[in-house]
Amino acid sequence: MTVFDGEMREFLRVVLVAFAGGVGWVTVYALGLVGVSAARRGGGRRAVGWVLAVVCFLVAVAGVVVGLRLMLAGRRGLE
């Protein structure tokens, strides 16, 4: 295996991780919006809607925090 292969394999890994992270993040946020929409409509789904919205928005924020913490951990390894 050449260095060239190694870099390209790493780049493909970057794309795959970004795809999963990016699409996953917007999906979770969109589900949160669905929850807010259901909660605002009222009726029997009101409570379920709020729970879905809160859980999804918390997961979205947690995803960002975990990602940034992983980056910071990698930086400390270089210092």
Partner 1 sequence: MDTGPLLLTVVVAAALVFAFTNGFHDAANAVATSVATGALRPYAAVGLSAVLNFAGAFLSLKVAATVAEGIVDSRVITLPVVFAGLMGGMLWNLVTWYLGMPSSSSHALVGGLVGTAFVAVGASAVKGMGVVSVVLLPALLSPVAAALVAGAGSWVVRWVTRGVPAGMRERGFRAGQIGSASLVALAHGANDAQKTMGVIMLALVTGGAVGAGEAPAGWVVVSSAAAMAAGTFFGGWRIVRTVGWGLVRIRGAEGFTAESGTAALVLVASDSGFPLSTTQVCCGSVVGAGIHQGVSRVRWRVVAELAGVWLVTLPGAAALGALVWWGARWVGGMQGVGLMFVLVLVAAFWFYVAADLRPVNASNVNAERVGRRMKWEEA
Interface residues toward partner 1, by CB under 8 A: 3-4, 7-8, 10-11, 13-15, 17-19, 21-23, 25-27, 29-31, 33-34, 36-37, 40, 60, 64, 67-68, 70-72, 74-75, 78-79
CB of 27 or CB of 47, closer to partner 1 = 27
CB of 72 to partner 1, least distance (A): 6
CB of 59 to partner 1, least distance (A): 13
24, 63 contact by CB (below 8 A): yes
